[in-house]
Amino acid sequence: MKIILLYGGQSAEHEISLISAHNVAQVLMYSIYEVYPVFITKSGQWIKGPRMETPSLGDQQLILEASDTLSWSLENTPSKGIAIKPGDIQSEEAVVFPILHGPNGEDGTIQGFLEILDMPYVGAGITASANGMDKIISKALFTQAGIPQVPYVAFTAHEWEEQKESLMQKIEGSLLYPLFVKPANMGSSVGISCVHDSPELIAAVATALRFDRRIIVEQGIQAQECEVAVLGNDDVHVSVVGHLVKDKSFYDYSEKYLNNSVQMEIPANLSEAVVEKIQDYAKKAYLAIDGSGLSRVDFFVTTNEDVYINEVNTMPGFTQFSMYPSLWAATGLEYRDLVEELIQLALSRHENKKQLEITQVEH
């Protein structure tokens, strides 16, 4: 069976994808799979590399340059690949592992494309990917599922342009500083700002609008940030709960991924009742967005042990610093076994979908 490792992408999370893909490549079973890397450049070009016989030497080796020949290079220099059309990845007996973060990666776009190619792929389907990526849509689904969340105000770029003064009054009249300003469709803290007054709020909205036309402003609260990993299709499993240990209230993209300033406490020092509540809410959130494969669900926990959901990440990071694989390792499922389980879940989901299609045709 072939494994097509799809990574890179055109989002602001391109570099995270490279690191995640490198880590996944370390544990794939090359003795039973034919592994082929397909790199999507920042400009949108698809480049297929030569078959990987062994793990990549580093994430920079996975950066492919279009060439007439296929070859691996030394570490930290581009490798040679062949420019292809996206549809050229279609292959029998193949599973796609789309390690793509952000827009055009985990928002349902690539998932819809893979559905058209009729190929099994790791992770959530179109609906769950779109729902999980869109913070405004997911919040509506969480409300319907009865999962508590912090107060927020959402608006579009057009509404901000036409109604800035009234929106400012609404935000400052219903929420208390500090506030978090976020693009509706972005992850890894890209475009997110923590603000403490009106001038900072206006500047933060301008920053967020660089990444999306829809914006969400959330109430900031004093709380621990806790996360739980979810795995499965219809049979949903949850990991132990982890805690992000911070020495300041907000970590941006650089602190999270470049400086590795965030420390993880696994398992989190929480009461059994709070852990059970988080795990229950995580399952409900996963089902609410129609999750499959995997997700990481993030929560806030106050000193009074109130629990609020933050968001669902349908393709969480797989870097050496990432919470998702670390949570499963602490639960008893090691990285290599986790990756293999995700591949099997992809095959199972695709097979079930094919059976439903046959039933629909027969009736």
Q: Note the pLDDT tens digit of each residue in 341-356.
A: 999 999 999 999 988 8
Domain with CATH 3.30.1490.20 in the chain: 151-219
Q: Could you confirm whether 188 is annotated as catalytic?
A: yes
**What pTM was computed for the model?**
0.90
Q: What is the pLDDT of residue 72?
A: 85
Most confident of 251-255, 315-319, 328-332: 328-332
Q: What is the pLDDT of residue 334?
A: 94
Report yes or no: 145 and 284 within 8 Å, Cβ to Cβ: yes
Q: Which two tokens stand for residue 199?
A: 């001038």
Q: What is the pLDDT of residue 249?
A: 55
CA–CA separation, 177 and 307 (whole Å): 20
Asked if residue 262 belongs to a known ligand binding site, the reply is: no
**Does pLDDT of 324 surpass 90?**
yes
Domain 223-351 has CATH 3.30.470.20: yes
Q: CATH assignment of 2-121?
A: 3.40.50.20
**What is 7-22 written as a DSSP string?**
EE-SSTTHHHHHHHHH
Domain with CATH 3.30.470.20 in the chain: 223-351
Q: Could you confirm whether 272 is annotated as catalytic?
A: no
Q: What is the pLDDT of residue 253?
A: 52
The share of the chain scoring above pLDDT 90, in percent, equals: 79
Select which of 129, 239, 322, 326 is catalytic: 322
CA–CA separation, 363 and 353 (whole Å): 16
Asked if residue 135 belongs to a known ligand binding site, the reply is: yes
CA–CA separation, 43 and 68 (whole Å): 19
3-class SS of residue 325 = helix
Asked if residue 189 belongs to a known ligand binding site, the reply is: yes
Q: Which two tokens stand for residue 233?
A: 């299709």
Asked if residue 108 belongs to a known ligand binding site, the reply is: no
- Tell me what the mean pLDDT of segment 76-86 comes to: 89
Strands 94-99, 152-156: pairing kind? unpaired
Q: Could you confirm whether 292 is annotated as catalytic?
A: no
Q: What is the pLDDT of residue 43?
A: 94
Select which of 129, 138, 188, 193 is catalytic: 188
3-class SS of residue 162 = helix
Q: Which CATH number fits domain 151-219: 3.90.1010.10, 3.40.50.300, 3.30.1490.20, 1.10.1060.10?
A: 3.30.1490.20
**Which CA distances in Å does 272 have to 240, 275, 276?**
11, 5, 6
Domain with CATH 3.40.50.20 in the chain: 2-121
**Does pLDDT of 152 surpass 90?**
yes
Question: pLDDT per residue over 244-289, tens digit each?
Answer: 987 655 555 555 555 556 789 999 999 999 999 999 999 999 999 9
Q: What is the pLDDT of residue 236?
A: 96
Q: What is the pLDDT of residue 256?
A: 53
- Comparing 75-79, 229-233, 239-243, the range with the smallest average pLDDT is 75-79
